[in-house]
Amino acid sequence: MKPRPKVRYEFSDTGPVHFESALLLRNKLFITPTLATVIGTFVVITAAAILMIQAVISERLIRQLGGGLVDLGMDTSEAAFVEQLHAVTETADYTHAGWETDELSFDDPDHLVAYIYGALAPQDRVSFMVMVDATGKGVDVDRGDADGDMYGGDVDVASEIPSLMPLLKRASENAGPFWSKPLYMPSRKHTYFVYTYPFYKGDTYRGSFLIGMSLERISDITWSISTDDITVFLMREKTEEIVAHPLLEAHFEELDAEDPLLHVSQISDLFLSDFSTMEVIDNEDYNIADGLELRTGFDTNGNKRFIIIEQENANLKGLPARIGVHFPAEYLDQPLQQLLIAIVVGLGLLLLSLIGAVLLARRIAKPVRRAASAAKDVAGLKISDVDPLPPSIIRELDDLANGFNAMVGGLTAFNRYVPRTLVQKLLSEGRAEAVPEEREVAVLFTDIAGFTSASEGMSASETAAFVNHHLSLLGAEIAKQDGTIDKYVGDSVMAFWGAPENLDNPAEPAARAAIGMASALRTDNMARANRDEAPVRIRIGIHMGPLVVGDIGAPERVNYTVIGDTVNAAARLESLGKEIDDTAEVIILVSGEIAARLSPDIRQEPIGPQKVKGKAEPIEVVRLLPA
């Protein structure tokens, strides 16, 4: 026999220690000086690097941040306009839908006027709405350009609002909705943008719905979102004509049919009036998004300002305009005025950080040493000798203490119900295995009838809350009967009895769980009825037979589950419920194998042999009747 090598041991407070391990132990570092040195070194390196980086790129960083703020401001401005234009297009879509369904008819002008009054009332940025048939006759409701009451009635566009006739002609030639070009209406002495929605029956033009927005009301939007420093405006696409501006009101009298819009140089904004001669700046210099044009100039006081204007905007629902903003240059051009002070402050903070590193290292080391000592006791399963770790103001250490204390509590319970030798084996191997084996198992499936259609009217959060509540009801009944929930699949539940514990008759608790589900659902549906909510209906299928049960899956991911034909049969019984009785609040279908093993107090109704998908032979089906 080959002689065994001699092994040298030394002894410590925790027991015998291999000699080589003892030598390694003597060469280990102490935690407090190690942490202080490591943390301090990283603090010095990091702080020095940050100061150097700040000195080199802080100006560009500030400009990039400013560019991000500008992009955000443009998005906010866009949202204000899109909200109003969305209301216009949605109103037109809704009106068209009402006309197509004959809810709105040219034969009932009084009803049309009442409807348009209601549609116009909440849209204070809309000037008028007109709904006319193919001959140009119909009704209109007008808010007017000044504050006051709305008025409306019958209208003949050709004689009363001839400015709209070109739009009606275009509508009769184009089946899709569109925004007009700026339209000057002599009768109103003002310029409008008109959204026109043609009405067609097949290929035949039957009329139009028109919504007009005046420059005054569009300019009100720019006034509401502009500030003392920031001015928002709209400029016509591919031109330098002003569509909306907080100061445009002073120039409405200058509008006419030849010039329905004013050039930027004609308005009272003295800075914006020099738009054509301003310097164009490369967007990359300030991290400005593509699709925006950046210009700079000086106001009458010599202060530098920037202009951001879109090239085009597809989100304005087809309105031929683009959004612009001008603002003080310091939003983007803030220089490195405090760099020297920042360096001095940074060096002071560096010194404080080094002192703090030493104190932090000592603070961290103390609970870590206590945890290390306690971990040795846990490793030896001397759970009763372990004192709880105290809380800490440091979150990670506090989490360590809470987690360690919870682990000790769990091991205490684990050690109480599981043989000590088994616990030691689990701790030594770091895992527990359930080798697959064949068992006689009862499998239960549930599903909500009509869940897909019922959830269509729910939001995502409402759907989640509904499903969670429903699964909680069913899960509670499974838990009452000591079942194992295998998985949740959407609104469905799969559970089984007979594993991991052996049961003489797994059919009985499975059936009683199903009956309990029916009772719980009935109570819940009564509560839903009191809330004027539709009742929930479910199907349940139960089958039993030999299955493979245990850890199933890839080595890195296993599930304790069951596999086999019995699972498929239970799922088919659940689906069969829709054919047996698709109106029942709860329908419970079980196989003959289940029914034969149930107590007499569980009422049964034989259904007979039924052919189900995936099974060559029919299954004897029995319906369980809840009390």
DSSP letter for 253, please.
G
Q: Is the pLDDT of residue 2 over 50?
A: no
**Would 213 be classed as within a structural domain?**
yes
Are 142 and 210 members of one domain?
Answer: yes
pLDDT category of residue 48 using cuts at 50, 70 and 90? low
As given in the structure block, the two tokens for residue 293 are 């044009």
What CATH number does residue 221 fall under?
Answer: 3.30.450.20
Are 458 and 525 members of one domain?
Answer: yes
Q: Can you tell me the distance from the alpha carbon of 307 to that of 296, in angstroms, rounded to the nearest whole number?
A: 6
**Would 21 be classed as within a structural domain?**
no
Are 251 and 197 members of one domain?
Answer: yes
pLDDT category of residue 431 using cuts at 50, 70 and 90? very low
**Would 9 be classed as within a structural domain?**
no
Side chain identity at 186, as an amino acid letter?
A: P
Are 130 and 272 members of one domain?
Answer: yes
**Would 288 be classed as within a structural domain?**
yes
Residue scoring higher pLDDT (290 or 303):
303
**Chosen domain end from 308, 336, 364:** 336
In terms of DSSP bridges, do strands 538-554 and 586-591 run parallel, antiparallel, or are they unpaired? parallel
pLDDT for 616 equals 73
pLDDT category of residue 19 using cuts at 50, 70 and 90? very low
Q: Can you tell me the distance from the alpha carbon of 299 to that of 278, in angstroms, rounded to the nearest whole number?
A: 11
Are 292 and 230 members of one domain?
Answer: yes
pLDDT digits (tens, 9 = 90+) for 479-537: 899 888 888 888 899 999 988 888 889 999 999 999 999 999 999 999 999 998 889 99
In whole numbers, what is the pLDDT of the chain averaged over residues? 81
pLDDT for 405 equals 75
Are 368 and 466 members of one domain?
Answer: no
Are 406 and 450 members of one domain?
Answer: no
pLDDT digits (tens, 9 = 90+) for 233-248: 999 999 999 999 999 9
**Would 569 be classed as within a structural domain?**
yes
Are 449 and 399 members of one domain?
Answer: no
**Would 195 be classed as within a structural domain?**
yes
pLDDT for 61 equals 60
**Would 252 be classed as within a structural domain?**
yes
DSSP string across 408-443: HHHHHHHHHHS-HHHHHHHHHHT------EEEEEEE
pLDDT digits (tens, 9 = 90+) for 204-217: 999 999 999 999 99
**Chosen domain end from 271, 304, 336:** 336
Are 409 and 506 members of one domain?
Answer: no
Total tally of structural domains belonging to the chain: 3
pLDDT for 411 equals 64
Domain carrying residue 140: 28-336
**Chosen domain end from 429, 455, 475:** 429
Diameter over CA atoms, the chain: 122
Q: Which of 280, 291, 361 is nearest to 30 (CA)?
A: 361
Query: Which secondary-structure segment (H or E) carries 444?
Result: strand 437-448
Q: Can you tell me the distance from the alpha carbon of 396 to that of 389, in angstroms, rounded to the nearest whole number?
A: 13
pLDDT for 512 equals 94
pLDDT category of residue 615 using cuts at 50, 70 and 90? confident
What CATH number does residue 528 fall under?
Answer: 3.30.70.1230
**Would 580 be classed as within a structural domain?**
yes
DSSP string across 123-144: -TT--EEEEEETTSEEEEEE--
Are 402 and 463 members of one domain?
Answer: no
Are 582 and 468 members of one domain?
Answer: yes
Q: Can you tell me the distance from the alpha carbon of 524 to that of 526, in angstroms, rounded to the nearest whole number?
A: 5
pLDDT category of residue 415 using cuts at 50, 70 and 90? low
**What is the value of pTM for the model shown?**
0.48
Question: Would you give the end-to-end CA distance of the chain in angstroms?
Answer: 75
pLDDT-wise least confident of 185-189, 346-350, 410-414: 410-414
pLDDT for 374 equals 67
pLDDT-wise least confident of 7-11, 177-181, 190-194, 220-224: 7-11
pLDDT for 3 equals 47
| φ, ψ for residue 114, nearest 5 deg | -60, -40
pLDDT for 380 equals 60
Q: Is the pLDDT of residue 406 over 50?
A: yes
Query: Which secondary-structure segment (H or E) carries 474?
Result: helix 460-480
